[in-house]
Structure 1
Amino acid sequence: MRAIQAYSKSSSFIVSFIFTTLLLIAVIFNTYVLTVASDDLLIRETEAAILADIGGFRSLYNAAGRPAVVRALENRVDNINNDFLYYLKNGQDEFIAGNLATWPGANTLPIKNGLLEIQVDLRPNQDNVSRRANKETAIAMIVEFGNKDTMLVARSVKDIEFALKLAQTSSYVLIVIVCIISILSIVVAYYVVSRINLMSDTADEIISTGNLSDRLYVESSWDDLSKLSLALNKMLDKIEQSVNSIQNVSDSIAHDLRTPLTRLKSHIEQIEHPEKHALIGECDNIMAIFNSLLRITDIETSAKRAGFADENLSAVAVDAIELYQPVMEEKEISLDVKISPNLRLHCDKNLIFQAFANVIDNAVKFTPQHGQISVSLTSQQDSESGQQQYCFSINDSGIGVNEAVIDKLTQRFYREDKSRTASGNGLGLALVAAIVSLHKGDISFSRTALEAESGLQCNLTLPA
């Protein structure tokens, strides 16, 4: 089962989406300020400075006349740090004072509130040439004094425009950086979700198949998820070693005891004793347990596929059902069979027959007199992968099992308390699980689908 079914529902995506949204809002606001508010701010600040300068000259003219204004203009012009530009003329349009060479002509553009945009033509002197270029843009305003004297007061916006362009460039750089961060956050979130899902899928496969030799994929060693995968792989190594050690011990015991047990059975057969047949039966039961253990281990560890061939799965199922029909008739069990014809599967015929026979044997064993059993073999499509698969399903009206222990039914030697009175060693379903796993299938249990007070449903799913 995937840890995160939808990328858009993951916490990584939500965090990256919120982070990206906030950054984009900041960029939009910053862009608005620079493209709209900055232009108005430039005009308002320049207008205020020009009006203040005009107010000072008007007061000076009214108080001391033209000569005082001329002296003040000469002092202003001599100051190389002054950004203001002046042109004072009389009623006959004759130049009186200032640092502008000409009165602005046809290139003058009105802005608002009496402000004008002019092209500056400075008077040729060494100070002005060293200070700035002869041609530049300025914002100006015209003021009239007494005696028909007129003065144009302008302020160069070259330095302010440079600062604005620098701010705009910084803003564009910021926008690019934010876009890169946003893209990287989404990419990182997608990477994290993909890696977590890959780890989850691998862990789920290990749990479902019991293949402890499988490991989590590690593509690097620098990121935290790869380090976590390495730690989990080390843990799986330890678990695999422990499980193999336990299995090897039990398998070794089973293998080593078969020979003395066979000799014991031979000695018992040679003596005459009233309990002779019971003792032989116990020996056969122990031998069956050892053989089942060794067979399960052989299937789980070697995963032999030499016996695989294209087989008629429907015929195998019918043979397994017919094997137990006499027992069902003896217990007067009602049998319902639904087998889809000619279902072909690449499999080991003998192992599949053993798996079908074991689950049918369990159903017959735990179904009481006059009970019900239904067996079906159908072809269906997997809802998740869309692949075709075969489902062998058996329902019974037997004693059933508690839902809390359903996951334990395929464990070796596990037997529920209420089933301990029946014959068996608790290895039948473990063998079935090993066979199904060898064929890349799945085994599952649930409450019976029959109309009965109790019972169990067992499903063997094999990919077609």
Structure 2
Amino acid sequence: MKSSLRKLFHTTAVRLSLKYSLAYIFILGLAFLVLYWFITVFVQDQIKINLLRESKKIESIYIGRGLKAVKDYILSHEQFKGEDHKYYLLVDRRGNIIAGDLKKWPLNLKTGDPVKNIWVSDKDIIGKVEDGDGFWPMIAIRFKDGSKTLIAQGIKGTEDLRETLFAIMAGIFTLIVILLLVLGLSLGRNIVKHAENIENACKGITDGDLSKRIKLSNRNDEFDTIAGHINDMLDELERFIKQSREASNSIAHDIKTPLNRIRNKLEMALLEKKECSLEFLSSVINDIDRIIKMINALLDISRIETGALRENWKKVNISKLIQEAVDFYQPLAEDRGIEISLNINNGLFINGNKQLLSQSMLNILDNALKYTQENSKIFILAKKEGNFIVVSVCDNGPGVKAEDYEKLTRKFFRLDKSRNLAGNGLGLSLVKAVMDLHKADLIFKENKPGLCVEMRFKAVQELSDSL
């Protein structure tokens, strides 16, 4: 238990929670002090206003009914002494006490002055009252005959109000502090729990278990959102590692086969001690070229996927680029009796790398020619749909099952029926990399029979100086 609490308090989450809680407590305490000061000032102002009103009242009594009426008013108040915490003193012009609650006139109090705080002790008060020693607010007025009176406000009520107010604020402050600490620790435990969940998943993956994932709490909070994104990233990482392993196996196999052929040919030449013929050298060079071509294709895909070829993009005339690709393969198509039907709108432009886009079009057209039977047709369509340019190449070959569409762009993936055809399984992988680089979509559709490969690019404004 102690180690668990120690671990909890050593986490960044709890330290941050406590730090912000302390900052909030400090601000809250400061706010309470300011509020306490404002309420105290307000109460003092109200006392001054009440004393001024009382002085006006006594003055009006004197004007209307004389000094005796003032004396009667003060004497009548003595029976309620202390209830409203008001005290009076009436003296004649010589200073002799006529009526009141105080034994003497305060030396520092003069008539005509505003309300002043004068020190009063128990010895200065006639009788026993609740109000004790302290600075009492007072005001004095002088009458025409030279007599004068003072009205004082005892501090018992004010002190009680201050104590009650302080107790309420202290209680609220303590409750809020406890709530903040509890919330801080609860938040810390929650964050630590999620962090441990992520840590356990990462540790499992580090130990080699690529299927490990972060558990979701189903609360759909920000932690679940982050965990969901991390799980998606782990899914992609697992897929990438799996593809990398498959690619490594395919690379090893595809390189090993021509290397074995080269070695066998060279070994036979050494055993027979014959001079190498041109045909022999040509076959060795062809095997080496196949290896180099495959390695170059992998390097191209790698550069494209890392975005290294994103620089120096220009506006590319897709209509012209498609026509150039068709012109390149037209002789091969005619030799096999394959007709290439074109339906291409003029003036279709996109932003991109012309060389990569041209290579992609050549790869797609090469695949279509491979899988299209002799004396058949290939359909090429290029048009503008809204803000997009759509290019599709459809053949009449055997087609591909819908569940295999996603596999077509994997490196070295080849359908069983295409194993006897030339190629290394990297053509559509390069096309996919180029499409991703251009933020374009690569879509496979059934042609009944055959396969349609569709590319969707974002269009740009037409230019006269097409590339």
TM-score of the pair, normalised by structure 2:
0.44
TM-score, with normalisation over the residues of structure 1? 0.44
